[in-house]
Structures are given as C-alpha cells and as structure tokens.
Structure 1
Amino acid sequence: MLADDPAAVWLRAVCLRRITASPTGLHRPACAALVHCSGSPAVHLGRQLKEEREEEGSLSAGERKMHTFFRIIDTQTKLHSKAAPLNARELASLRLTLQSAGIHADLDEGEVDGTALNFEYNANAVAIARFAQLFDARLDIVSVIEESQFLGRAIRVRRTDSDAFATLEVSEHIAISPELAVTRRQAELVLDCLDWPRSERRSIPLDELRSRLGAGRTYSRFERHDLGYLFDYLARIADTDCGEQIPELAWV
C-alpha cells in the first residue's frame, strides 16, 4: 500500500488513536440531522449550521449537547444476522466506499471523524452488489448490510472487548426518515404537547404517537407554542411504513 494512499493514512490515524486518549471532536452531519421544513425555525437553523460548517460537515460537541434528536428506532424485532468482526483493512475499505458515495458517518459522542471506532452509516443508498464485490469472501459482513437495507436501518460499527478490531451490526436506528434536531426546550414542549411523561423511558411507540397526535387538542397545543411545523413532521414520522418491525420514536 502506498504511503499517501487514503486507506493507509486512515489506518495510521486509527492505530494512533488506540494508544492515545482522543479529545472530544466533531459529531453528526448538520445536513443529515436537521429536517428541512419550509419556513420553519428548523430550516433556518439547518442553513446556518450548514454555512458555518460546510467544510467540516458536522455539528460540534457543544452544538450537539444543545439539541435533542428525534429518530425512529426498533429494539424489539429479532434480527437474523449476527455481528460480524472487522479487521482494520476491512473497516477502512467500508469507510472509503461509503465516503466515496457521499455518505457521512454518524459518530458517537466523544468520537473524532477519521479515527472513530463507534459510529453508524445509513448505507441504504449503496447497492448491495457493491458490498458483495467488496467483501466477496465475507458473507457474514454482506449479510449484516443486506438485512440492514431490507429493514431500512443504518449499519453500526462498534469497538468491542473481543479480539476483533471492530464489529459490524444492524443498528436499531430505522433510517427511512431523517432525524429531527430541536433545542432541548422545544423537545420538552413537544412531550408536553403530546401529554407524554418525562420519565426515564425516552421513547414512544409509533402507534401511540399516532393516537396522541390524533387527539382533539394536540394540534392546538403545538400551535400555542408556535410548533405547528413540528406537529406536521411528527405526523409524517407516525405514518412511516416500517414493515413488520416494532418502531418507536426516540429522543437523545
């Protein structure tokens, strides 16, 4: 492998991270984290972040802590694939393939882009045939990606305590619908409008969300707080077809 090869550069960076403490760095791409609802505060916030971080392509740690992210998840449906081990070269190939397709990683808190070992990708836009060609001798890796695409989910790379460099698995995140980023205060108001208790459980089944959105006074509550655009977005989420999965709206 040539010294200036991107994969070699990435591998060196990851190896360095494994023996040094990494600082808190950049997180989730702004364009993927914000819903573009015409005329809403969300779209203005999205444009502002996009302009400020066009080159970096992600929200900073401080910015992320100021927001709550709503996303669809499923933690109950039984998966058929098992977590597949990845060595450093396989992980580098996966990253470069997705990056060349214009897909950015959704990093866990505390991870730094370029050396991250805990992150997710929404790989649904890349043909499964491309991955089958890339990992022709690794059916377990292809099986994980195939199931994630069948379910409309993201794929998750995770650093484990095992001998494997990292593992690849199907994420609980159903990536059919984009995430919604709101301020923490707005998130609290959303829960109040839905009459959902602020308990330790940070999710609501989509069936229950549909029912609460359909209640007579719910829309007027959102309007009272100038959050009508969030009601519209949540209504679209509630109508998301997740097949035979057991979806919930979660906030983090």
Structure 2
Amino acid sequence: MSITFRIATAADDRPGPRAVINARQLAAFRTFLREESVRSRTVLLDPDAAEDAYLSYHFEARVCPLPLAAIARVFDFDADVIGVVEEAQFRCRRVSVWRDEPAGTIAMRVALTSDQGLELDLASGNAEVLLESLGLTPDSIGEIPVDTIRERLANPAVRRRAAAGGITPYLDRLDQLIGLADADETSRLEWA
C-alpha cells in the first residue's frame, strides 16, 4: 500500500471544467501527444501503452508545454476542451482522460497531478516515517497548510529526524513539491 503526497488548492474542492470527446478525437490526441513527445523529447502521455485498450481510455497528459491553439485544433476547437486545457495550463496541471462508463462517453478534465508529476508516492512505512519526522501524526489521510509545512521543513530538528529515519531524499522531493504551491494562496499539502 502507498500514500501519495500532493499539492491541492481550493479549486480542487469544487467541480472544474469537463469535456466530452469522441473516439476520433481521442485517437488524434494520443497521436498528437506521441508526435510532440518525440519532437520535444518530453514525455507527454502517461501511461502510453498503445496495445492496451484500457490504458488508451485512462491516461493523463501534459498540456502545459504545448500551445493551446495546437491542442484545440485536434479537438476541432471545441469550447469545452479549450476550457479544460486552459484551466490545466493555468493551474500547471495535467489533463485526465477516461471512459465514463455510466454515460458511455469519453471525458476529459483537469487532473490532480501536477504538470511535472512531482507528487510523492511512498510506501506506507516510508510515508509514516516522513510524517513523524515532520512532527505529524502518521495517519494515512491528512492535509496541512503549505506555510506550516514550509516552517517544519526549515526546522533543523526535522532534517535530523529524517536522516535518522533514512528518508532525507524524500524531504528533498517534498521541498520540490512544496515549490508548486507558490502560485495559489489556498494551497495545502494533502496525502492519502
């Protein structure tokens, strides 16, 4: 079992934009992402397994490095898709594509994952040691304001406890993750 640490904002607490796309647009989008990945030498499609039909409907894509107009063209300039991509780029997030089984459609929305994928996914034991070194109760689900976690990361005692627990590299990755919170004053660190 694992626990993922990520940055959340007030925008994550309310429904965001959502678009319905068709199978032709899905195929064109995946092709576009693969071509742009090769051109830019950047992984834009996660996961990318063409032979797996399940994954072709369930994936996340980086859209921040790409021009909005180029993505919009793939979707025939659909206003709902433009709204999703624009919001994802504004919030430095990926887009998530999935098959909405009850509705029988393919949907797109802003993902919970940051554009650069800096989320920290740790085995439960390591996550508990990390939380304890930060002076937090090692619960499997929780949240804390970003300012509070920054203060704790600046405390030398936290670094000593992390070193004693062998998790110093996780603190460094947590520092990188916290750097994502600069854009929104409602940011908080969540884990689950």
Instruction: Give runs of aligned pairs for residues 37-52 of structure 1, distance below 5 A.
Output: none
1:127 to 50, 67, 77: 67
- Judge which range, 221-230 or 148-157, deviates more: 221-230
| AA of the residue aligned to 1:138 | D
RMSD: 2.9
Q: Is the 8 A contact 1:85 1:164 kept in 2?
A: no
- Judge which range, 206-215 or 170-179, deviates more: 170-179
- Residue by residue over 1:164-198, the C-alpha shift from the partner in whole angstroms, topping out at 9 and shown as x without a partner, is 52111112333345233443322221011012223
Q: Is the 8 A contact 2:118 2:176 kept in 1?
A: no
Tell me how far apart the structure 1 counterparts of residues 19 and 34 of structure 2 sit (CA, whole Å).
Answer: 21
Q: Structure 1: where are the runs of 5+ without partners?
A: 1-64
TM-score relative to the length of structure 2: 0.78
- Residue by residue over 1:28-74, the C-alpha shift from the partner in whole angstroms, topping out at 9 and shown as x without a partner, is xxxxxxxxxxxxxxxxxxxxxxxxxxxxxxxxxxxxx5x54433333
User: Which has the higher Rg, Structure 1 or Structure 2?
Assistant: 1
For 1:28, the equivalent position in structure 2 comes to: none
Larger proportion of helix:
2
Answering whether residue 40 of structure 2 is matched by residue 105 of structure 1, we say: no
Tell me how far apart the structure 2 counterparts of residues 250 and 212 of structure 1 sit (CA, whole Å).
Answer: 15
Answering whether residue 54 of structure 2 is matched by residue 115 of structure 1, we say: yes
Greater relative contact order, per chain length (Cα 8 Å cut-off, separation 6+): 2
Instruction: Give runs of aligned pairs for residues 1-252 of structure 1, distance below 5 A.
Output: 67-74=2-9, 76=11, 82-102=17-37, 103-106=44-47, 113-116=52-55, 117-176=57-116, 178-199=118-139, 201-244=141-184, 246-252=186-192
**SS of match in other structure, 1:239:** helix
Moved over 6 A (4+): none
TM-score relative to the length of structure 1: 0.61
Q: Structure 2: where are the runs of 5+ without partners?
A: 38-43
Report sequence identity in percent. Answer: 25
Tell me how far apart the structure 1 counterparts of residues 185 and 22 of structure 2 sit (CA, whole Å).
Answer: 31
